[in-house]
Chains A and B, each alone.
Chain A
Amino acid sequence: MRGASTERVVAAIDQGTTSTRCLLFTRTGRMLAVAQREHRQHYPEPGRVEHDAEEIWRNVARVVPEALRRAGLGPENLVALGIANQRETTVIWNRHTGVPLARAVTWQDTRTGPIVADLVADGLAGLYDSTSGFGPATYFAGPRLRWLLDHVPGARAGAEAGDVLFGTMESWLIWRLTGGVHVTDVTNASRTMLMDLRTLEWSPRLLEALDVPERMLPEIRSNAEVYGVCREVLPGVPVAGALGDQQAALVGQTCFAPGEVKCTYGTGAFLLKNTGSRIAGSAQGLIPTVGYLVGKEPVYALEGSIAVTGSLVQWFRDSLGMIGSAAQIETLAMTVPDNGGCYVVPAFSGLYAPHWRPGARGVIVGLTGYITRGHLARAVLEATAWQTRDVVDAMNAESGIPVTRLKVDGGMTADHLLMQYVADVLDVPVERPLGSEAVSLGAAYVAGLAVGHWSELEVLRSNWHRAATWRPDMPAERRERERENWGRAVARSYDWVR
């Protein structure tokens, strides 16, 4: 598709776990072009996953011009550039040379276990919980930074001398694009375990507890403001927005009112609920976080993550060989009318929110001679729906305000049987928007807002078009019976690892 040369568009960079993409959006939120490049995953040891930040930067420098070429547009057509990124991935680099001191330590990496255990042993869990919003966990960027300071030669001395800088991926890309503007945004900063969730500033006490020199940290900014102007890749174009990927999807799905919820279904799933100006409690493994800051007042969100959703279907395909493609699980599941009494609990690496059971492992229960591949396919899909229900129940319990509809995006929304089942077990309508690029769209939105391409958040709602609605259609007694069975299956997965 080619656009007219007078077209004014916003570019979004989606710096993800496996690839970096550039997408161009019109004022109505329509995608004009996309370009994508994958980067290497480095596994130096079990439990360690690293990315080469320099390779990711090179990919940015390639995909941006490629997307423009595909749309038949030039840099003069761009009003702004926004970034959405994989969260919690940590990089340090030399301020003078721009060279990373080590590979970036990614969000899947669990090497910081001992650092986190020390924080807990030192009785600091309460301090973290009350300041950053959640207790210490390997999931967040702060402990990774500490690990890099402890293990990379020259890192600590360089940081203390002001020669070494820290950033998550958006910081790194903004620094390279602008030639030296060192900033982060509130959503990414809220995932470091170093920021005070109330003041939205680095917390001196948390920095001290992790022994991180403050001068290496980027300045925390809002999600929609001109951080700087590109010197590289798109000279003259303002870099005007950044968001962590899940918060970007919240904005892309236009969940601007308290109580609105989105769920992005990928290999795992992430539910974020807008809690307005209120910081939610962190009970049951849900994480309070910054939703977005556009203007003066922050909007908070409550996040629940599910580790295994799409990856269970991949396992069913690749490890069990039951299907030839992920989409075919729907065909197989439709060969039977129900699960035949069979349940799959995919606690492959323990259970996350709201159960929080690291010692759990996966189980298949209810097997009889009656069970066929079709029943297993149903049980695999239903596991995603019930895990969603568990997180939604925990969110409802936290605020007392029930979720009344769920906006969904991501690859698994192609599975209509699954989406219908999600609607059935939640007993609320499930809605898919036109275009599946909620993450990138959110990044484009904040950048466009910053430069006045859009006047305010609310006008973006008119860009959200319903592509499908799945309405609940399950008798209440059946839903209750199935929920109870799922709960009993989950209980059987607990404490398998001793």
Chain B
Amino acid sequence: MPGPIQSVERAAAILRVIGGAGRPLALAELAAALDLPRPTVHGLVQTLRAEGLVDQDRTTAHYRLGGGLRTLASGWDRHDLRASAMNWADALAGSTGCAVYLAVPEGAVAGIVHHVFRPDGSPQTLRTNTEHPLHATAWGKCLLAFAPVSTPGPRELELRRYTGRTASTVAMLEAHLATARQRGLATDVGEFEPGAGGAAVPLRSGGGLTVAALGIAAPTEELFGGGGQPRPALADQLRAAGREISALLAAR
């Protein structure tokens, strides 16, 4: 095994120096504190800046700790996610005629962060802050498939059978997740409630990390064509909205 990697050590030292200074620091001060050439420190600190771990003041060009550090331990703030996704979620509901959900991993369940009604005037109840099973909903399976680090493994889940179609064995769930990874999109064909369907794509922040699932919900016969494939027009709209929101998240 090789020894410590020097550039990682130096990057950590830069964060400690900035964090300990109590005020924004100039490049020259950083270089002096670390006893390194300015170009070396510049390369390191600009990389940290691109990762969101360091911010640079636009007028003074001094460096301070970045907003990305806040989200390191806790993940994304769910309400920041909602605020970033809201306009595209509305547009997605408008263009597909489906209800829209935004879900994040929350221990052994998917937590609903945002819900847009199906725009058909029918009476509906807001599901924000409710919990959905990971193995039986499109957004839950999307999180299992694309955010394996922040969700339990299939063997750790209680695979309750909600309908005859629920993936209630580990093998069945593994097969669903493999299909989801291959399609880049997870589905629920009446697996939580009979006749109710869903499809969901991952929302990725900077570095490609999946932080949430964006889903659409509608009766299964509206959402799926023959062979359980989601209708291409709907899947395209869903993927496009997912790309737009991910681009916003990556830019934050």
Contact = CB atoms under 8 A, between A and B. Distances in A.
Interface of A: 30-31, 324-331, 414-416, 434-436, 465-470
Given A331-B77, A466-B121, A326 B83 contact: yes
B90 A325 contact: no
B121 A434 contact: no
A454 B121 CA distance: 21
Nearest to B82: A414
Given A325-B80, A416-B126, A416-B128, A467 B67 contact: no
A324 B252 CA distance: 12
A466 B126 contact: no
- Max count, chain B CB within 10 A of own CB: residue among A326, A329, A331, A465: A465
Given A466-B121, A467-B90, A468-B117, A327 B83 contact: yes
B70 interface: yes
Given A434-B94, A434-B119, A436-B87, A469 B126 contact: yes
B124 A30 contact: no
Contacts of B94: 30, 434-435, 465
A436 B85 CA distance: 13
Nearest to B100: A467
Nearest to A468: B126
6 contacts: A327-B82, A329-B79, A434-B116, A466-B119, A467-B93, A468-B117
A436 B94 CA distance: 12
Contacts of A434: 90, 93-94, 116-117, 119
Given A466-B117, A468-B116, A324 B70 contact: yes
A330 B79 contact: yes
Given A436-B87, A467-B116, A415 B121 contact: no
Contacts of A330: 79
Nearest to B113: A416
A324 B83 CA distance: 13
Contacts of B114: 416
Interface in B68-110: 70, 77-80, 82-83, 86-87, 90-91, 93-95
B115 interface: yes
Contacts of A325: 77, 80, 83
A466 B121 CA distance: 7
B90 A435 contact: yes
A466 B119 CA distance: 6
A442 to B, nearest CB: 17
A468 B129 CA distance: 14
A252 B82 CA distance: 24
A324 B82 CA distance: 15
A53 B90 CA distance: 34
Contacts of B67: 324
A327 B119 contact: no
A466 B78 CA distance: 23
Contacts of B117: 434, 465-469
Nearest to B123: A469
A157 to B, nearest CB: 44
A468 B86 CA distance: 12
A329 B77 CA distance: 10
Contact of B91 (A31, A326, A329, A415): A31
Nearest to A29: B94
- Max count, chain B CB within 10 A of own CB: residue among A31, A435, A466, A470: A466
Contacts of B120: 465
Interface in B35-85: 67, 70, 77-80, 82-83
Nearest to B97: A465
A414 B90 contact: no
Name the 9 nearest CB pairs between A and B, nearest first. A465-B119, A327-B83, A327-B79, A330-B79, A327-B80, A414-B83, A416-B128, A467-B116, A434-B90
Contacts of A469: 117, 124-126
B70 A415 contact: no
Interface in B222-243: none
Contact of A465 (B77, B78, B121): B121
A194 to B, nearest CB: 38
B126 A436 contact: no
Given A465-B119, A466-B121, A467-B117, A30 B79 contact: no
Given A414-B86, A416-B126, A468 B80 contact: no
Contact of B77 (A30, A328, A468, A470): A328
Contacts of A468: 115-117, 126
A394 B157 CA distance: 54
A331 B86 CA distance: 16
A384 to B, nearest CB: 16
Contact of A467 (B70, B95, B119): B119
Contacts of A414: 79, 82-83, 86
A328 B67 CA distance: 13
B237 to A, nearest CB: 10
Given A30-B95, A466-B117, A468-B115, 12 more contacts: A324-B77, A325-B83, A327-B80, A327-B83, A328-B80, A414-B82, A416-B82, A416-B114, A416-B128, A434-B94, A467-B116, A468-B126
A331 B75 CA distance: 13
Contacts of A327: 77, 79-80, 82-83
Contacts of A331: 77-79
